Amino acid sequence: MAVERPAVASSAGVRKSMRANKGRDTKPELALRRAVHALGLRYRVSTRPLAELRRTADLTFTRAKVAVFLDGCFWHGCPEHHTKSATNAAFWAEKVRRNRERDRETDRLLAEAGWSVIRIWEHEAPDDGAARVERAVRGRRVEVAGPRASRSPE
């Protein structure tokens, strides 16, 4: 059995840069949250849709069972904007491959548990992403609780 070695930064500068990456409250995430909130939707931030699954959604609508993930173009391999690393290329290619594989698994597990999953790329306009979220949440409210549920905030 192969032992997985921890990632080693290629330089002190790279290490400092990588440690500065935020796990939440990024600019694209804050913009999306503002746009969703402006549509009258209320949500939970950085929560696990399923307690037993160690995956955190950026926005969670618990009553409607909608989980929203805002995926970074580099980290999740955006087909339009993903760039290949010039340094440590094999490591980063494998890292992105594993991230994408985990994303697909997360989508599948949440769907099996009755959740709707929305994935939004960081480059998408916040208003466009928010509109997708609104359609899903309001549609799920009607589907889950009947026509009257679509009038109440999350």
Query: Hey, which CATH number is domain 23-39+57-151, 1.10.150.120, 3.10.20.70, 3.40.960.10, 3.40.50.150?
Result: 3.40.960.10
* Higher-scoring residue by pLDDT: 102, 141: 102
> Tokens 């340094």 sit at which residue?
87
- For the chain, the domains span 23-39+57-151
Residue 117: φ, ψ to 5°: -110, 130
For 24-65, write each residue's pLDDT tens digit: 789 999 999 999 999 999 999 999 999 999 999 999 999 999
Return the pLDDT at 121: 97
CA distances from 82 to 15, 37, 74, 78, 97 (A): 20, 29, 5, 5, 12
Q: Across the chain, what does the average pLDDT equal?
A: 86
Return the pLDDT at 22: 60
For 70-88, write each residue's pLDDT tens digit: 999 888 999 898 878 878 8
Q: For residues 125-148, give the mean pLDDT.
A: 86
* Higher-scoring residue by pLDDT: 99, 13: 99
Return the pLDDT at 20: 59
pLDDT band at 141 (very low <50, low <70, confident <90, very high): confident
pTM recorded for the entire structure: 0.80
DSSP-based three-state secondary structure for 58:
strand
CA dist., res. 98 & res. 68, Å (int): 20
